[in-house]
Structure 1
Amino acid sequence: MARPDIDKRPDIDKLLSKVDSKYTLVIAASKRARQINDYFSAIKRHDLVRVRPPQIEALSNKPLTIALEEISQGKISYERLVEGIK
C-alpha cells in the first residue's frame, strides 16, 4: 500500500530542472521551509509577521513539502552569491 504523503511530493526531475544543483535545491528548500514554519507559528501566536506566506495551495501541511512544491512551480527564485576566491 502506497503512503499518501509520498504521492504529494513533487517530482525530483522537475525540481532539479529549476535549480543548478542538488545542493542548491537542499539549501533553497530548507530556507523556505524555515520561513513557512515561522509563518505558521506566528499565526498560532496571533502575531503579525513579515514572512512571506505560502505561495501555493498546498496538499500537505508540512513546510518542507510546501517549499519543494513552490520551487517545482517556479514560485521561489534564488540568487547565488559568489565571492571571489583568493
Structure 2
Amino acid sequence: MGGEGFMMHANKSLKENRSLLAKRKDKQNLQGSYAKVKLAKFPKATSEQLEKIRKRMQAENRRNKIILIISFALISIVVTSFIFLYLN
C-alpha cells in the first residue's frame, strides 16, 4: 500500500521535534532579563549639525536621482535602437 514512507518520515519528524523540545525545556535557554543591560548614551546633535546632515542627504539623493534618470534613458535608447535594427 502506498504512503508507508511518508508516514514513517512523519513519525520520525515528530519524534525528533519532541526530543528537541525536551532539550530546550531542560536548559531554559529562552529565559532571561534585560535588567543588567546598560543603554548607550549618545550626544545630542546641534541644529547646525542637523542642517549639515540634511543638506548632505539632499545632495546625495539628488545625485542618485540624476544617475537613475541617465541610466534609464541610456537603457531605453539602447533597447529602442536594437528594436529598430531588428525590424529593418
TM normalised by structure 1 equals: 0.32
Name the larger-Rg structure.
2
User: Which one has more relative contact order, counting CA pairs under 8 Å at least 6 apart?
Assistant: 1
Scaled by the length of structure 2, the TM-score of the pair is: 0.31
Is the helix fraction higher in 1 or 2?
2
